DNA sequence: GTGAAAGCGCTAACAA
DNA sequence: TTGTTAGCGCTTTCAC
């Protein structure tokens, strides 16, 4: 492997001069710069970012820990984060925690060892024990999607409480009376937010809160299937189902097909967190869309802000709004069937 | 930042002994090991993987360059790759090329500088110029999804030619006569494979090849929309449309809704490369599914094989089969509507 | 079983 | 504008 010393020798300069050229510093004579660049090209020199990272105590790497990259919302987050990282000339390491605190802890420790310059984390261990152990002090962290108890850390999240309320009011305006809320993980703050928005909408409409219509799940399709089966077996089934995320709604729709329920004739369906653009087929579902891409970008930007002036700036919470995308799955478009 | 020297000092041993303990080497007396471990714990020592990487000339990082993480197929690939990397104790850097050779080249160069131990690449520059420049010699590369002209490099791909043929035979068996093939990028080998499978199926059935029914696109929803509009305006429109990938089929369905065509009553729709499990709503579309997760895993495994015995083993091509998942979007289930 | 010396490749800090 | 020295934190080599 050719090093900067080889380049320097060939150009007849000292290593530090060659280094200055490689790093595009200004205080180098044009002729010298020229010679160094030629030498580097002839030798096919490739700077060693590992050595540079060791010397400068900056690796040029950031890490992103999400629950699952195949979730459309987190894929969007990852794309936003990666775009922002690229624009800053930094690389992004990806980790899936699969909602497992042990995986999360392993990744945090491991990324600490790799001395990444910062971490964006979608926390799974909400107690935050892993957050304090096994990480180098002063390693900047930005939480995404949900917070951690007692952690004084920056947070980027979406106000799904307000979003869910908007969505439910939309359903109420369309005349629905028995709206069900399904699919989130009972121990996650994001589920509580959604339920609270749901409850607020019903309360504002003067409707009672029926606990039978609130069914937690796993933020996956299976939870949607189970919840739907349970709901449709009730003496008084719901006339609308709000799914807590994109995967859940797949399960809901799947089970409704199995039960031979038509959407929206027999029952309405809406969802939270569909990240697909309105122009696609999916927008035919009425959804509250979280701006995953922008959230990913914002998280990386916050990380850089921390890297800049150190840890003395106050902890920040960035709250995005969820947008209502009206489709036809709740009876909005007369005569158009979804399933 | 506490270093291994600090740990050694506190434990009253030399740095190298502390290093041996940290790396779990065997030739250390139990009592010594104990002392070192305690010292490390007390100081909250976190090994520096950057320094280790410099010394050992192995960074413990792999890179994955795909076109877009929000594509369901590549998200699946990424998940498989990451799982395999995790099991091997290695981290994964992610890069989106967005089908732009300039981005691809930037990432290749940059990952070379970071001295990643290997790269899995979904190539966008099929001429392969970027593949030879700007990369450290002997940096192992595995291509995924598609090859590069004249590159003697390992390749993991899926036989979508055979898969498409199977899918088209399925359509022919159901009585369809005018099958359209839409959506792939004209310059990509993956599109040619799919078209060749399509042509083979028609030829075997003794049907003529109508060029009007083959419409290239961009592997995105827009291409599906445009192709569908064009096809349905033909004097003799198709009775079935095969979309080249998951995004394309979204556009196809969207446009069919706009044209008030029902699926499958008025027209059948099928797709290649849907990665969702058969239990979900989407399986109601008839698809040929590429095993993205397994392909991602296989690519990482191939990389490790190269890392092991060097570059002397012969170049390998790993071909996965695409599996037909029968849904109801081509008239298989009587009376069930898709859209 | 343990340690001393050296160096991986690079760049701050300090000369000149 | 250029160079010298030193050291980032670790582990290989060799010696004891």
Residues of B in contact with A253 (CB under 8 A): 281
3-state secondary structure of B62: strand
**How much is the pLDDT for A282?**
47
Average pLDDT score, chain B: 91
Closest-CA residue of A relative to B58 is A50
A248-277 burial by CB neighbour count: b if 16+ within 10 A, else e? bbbbbbbbbbeeebebbeebbbbbbbbbbe
Which residue from B50, B70, B76 is facing A50, i.e. has the nearest CB?
B50
CB within 8 Å of chain A, chain B residues 100-119:
103, 109-115
Whether B101 has a pLDDT exceeding 90, the answer reads yes
Residues B276-299: tens digit of each pLDDT:
544 444 447 889 999 999 999 999
Q: Considering only residues B122 and B150, tell me which one the structure prediction assigns the higher pLDDT.
A: B122
CB contact, 8 Å: A55 with chain B?
Answer: no
Whether A332 has a pLDDT exceeding 90, the answer reads no
Residue with tokens 């792999």: B62
CA angle B241, B245, B249 (to 5 degrees): 50
What is the DSSP annotation of B73-121? HHHHHHHHHHHHHHHTT-EEEEEE-TT-HHHHHHHHHHHHHTT-SEEEE
Specify the DSSP element, H or E, that contains A41.
helix A30-43
CB contact, 8 Å: A226 with chain B?
Answer: no
Whether B312 has a pLDDT exceeding 60, the answer reads yes
Bridge partners of A62, per DSSP, are A92, A118
Q: How far apart are CA B65 and CA B103, in angstroms?
A: 10
Q: How far is CA B82 from CA A7, A95, A96, A264, A268, in A?
A: 37, 7, 8, 39, 38
What is the pTM for the complete model shown?
0.93
The residues, ordered by sequence, that sit 6+ positions from A164 with a Cβ below 8 Å of its Cβ are A181, A193, A194, A195, A196, A197, A198, A201, A242, A272, A288, A322
CB contact, 8 Å: A60 with chain B?
Answer: yes
Q: How far apart are CA B114 and CA B110, in angstroms?
A: 6
Contact between B281 and A253 using a beta-carbon 8 Å cutoff: yes
Q: How far apart are CA B289 and CA B173, in angstroms?
A: 19
Contact between A91 and B114 using a beta-carbon 8 Å cutoff: yes
Q: How large is the average pLDDT for residues A127-150?
A: 82
Do residues A319 and A159 make contact, with C-beta atoms less than 8 angstroms apart? yes
Whether A279 has a pLDDT exceeding 50, the answer reads no
Residues A9-56: tens digit of each pLDDT:
999 999 999 999 999 998 899 999 999 999 999 999 999 999 999 999
Do residues B167 and B272 make contact, with C-beta atoms less than 8 angstroms apart? yes
**How much is the pLDDT for A210?**
97
Q: How far apart are CA B111 and CA B114, in angstroms?
A: 5
Residues 4-63 of B with CB under 7 A from strand C: 13-17, 20, 26-29, 31-32, 51, 54-55, 57
**How much is the pLDDT for B279?**
40
CB within 8 Å of chain B, chain A residues 174-203:
none
**Cβ atoms within 10 Å, residue A131:** 23
Contact between A76 and B70 using a beta-carbon 8 Å cutoff: yes
**How much is the pLDDT for B278?**
42
Closest-CA residue of B relative to A91 is B93
Residues A154-195: tens digit of each pLDDT:
999 999 999 999 999 999 999 999 999 999 999 999 999 999
Whether B301 has a pLDDT exceeding 50, the answer reads yes
Q: Which of B329, B311, B118, B119 is nearest to B242 (CA)?
A: B329
Residues A223-250: tens digit of each pLDDT:
999 999 999 999 999 999 999 998 898 8
**How much is the pLDDT for A310?**
63
The residues, ordered by sequence, that sit 6+ positions from A161 with a Cβ below 8 Å of its Cβ are A193, A194, A196, A197, A200
Q: Which bases of chain D come closer than 7 Å to a protein CB?
A: 1-5, 7-13
**How much is the pLDDT for B105?**
93
Contact between A93 and B95 using a beta-carbon 8 Å cutoff: no
- Percentages helix, strand, coil for chain B, rounded to the nearest 5? 45, 15, 40
Pairing of strands A323-325, A286-289: antiparallel
Q: For residue A264, say if its preceding peptide bond is cis, omega within 30 degrees of 0.
A: yes
Bridge partners of A179, per DSSP, are A240
Closest-CA residue of B relative to A83 is B96
Q: Considering only residues B243 and A138, tell me which one the structure prediction assigns the higher pLDDT.
A: B243
Pairing of strands A91-96, B91-96: antiparallel
Residues A52-101: tens digit of each pLDDT:
999 999 999 999 999 999 998 999 999 999 999 999 999 999 999 999 99
Residue A336 pLDDT grade (very low, low, confident, very high; cuts 50, 70, 90): low
**How much is the pLDDT for B309?**
65
Residue B34 pLDDT grade (very low, low, confident, very high; cuts 50, 70, 90): very high
Residues B256-266: tens digit of each pLDDT:
888 988 888 89
3-state secondary structure of A288: strand
Specify the DSSP element, H or E, that contains B249.
helix B246-258
């Amino acid at each position: 492997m050719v090093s900067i010393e080889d380049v320097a020798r060939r150009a007849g300069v000292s290593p530090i001069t060659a280094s200055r050229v490689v790093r595009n510093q200004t205080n180098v004579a044009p002729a010298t710069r020229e010679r160094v660049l030629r030498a580097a090209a002839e030798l096919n020199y490739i700077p060693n970012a590992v050595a540079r990272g060791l010397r400068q105590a900056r690796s040029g790497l950031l890490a992103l820990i999400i629950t699952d990259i195949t979730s459309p919302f987190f894929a969007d987050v990852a794309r936003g984060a990666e775009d922002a990282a690229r624009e800053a000339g930094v690389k992004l390491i990806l980790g899936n925690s699969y909602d497992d605190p042990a995986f999360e802890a392993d990744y945090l420790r491991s990324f600490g060892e790799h001395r990444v310059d910062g971490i964006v984390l979608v926390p799974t261990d909400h107690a935050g024990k892993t957050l304090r152990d096994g990480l180098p002090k002063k390693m900047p962290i930005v939480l995404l999607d949900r917070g951690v108890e007692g952690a004084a850390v920056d947070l980027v999240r979406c106000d799904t409480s307000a979003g869910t309320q908007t969505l439910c009011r939309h359903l109420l305006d369309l005349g629905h009376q028995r709206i069900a809320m399904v699919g989130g993980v009972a121990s996650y703050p994001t589920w509580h937010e959604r339920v609270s928005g749901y409850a607020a909408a019903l309360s504002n409409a003067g409707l009672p809160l029926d606990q039978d219509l609130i069914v937690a799940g796993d933020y996956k399709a299976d939870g949607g299937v189970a919840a739907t089966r349970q709901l449709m077996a009730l003496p008084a089934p719901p006339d609308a189902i709000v799914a807590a995320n994109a995967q859940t709604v797949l399960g809901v729709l799947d089970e409704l097909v199995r039960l031979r329920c038509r959407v929206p004739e027999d029952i309405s369906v809406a969802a939270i967190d569909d990240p697909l653009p309105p122009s696609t087929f999916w927008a035919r579902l009425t959804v509250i869309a979280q701006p995953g891409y922008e959230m990913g970008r914002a998280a990386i930007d916050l990380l850089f802000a921390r890297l800049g002036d150190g840890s003395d700036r106050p902890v920040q919470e960035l709250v995005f709004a969820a947008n209502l995308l009206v489709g036809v799955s709740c009876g909005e478009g007369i005569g158009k069937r979804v399933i």
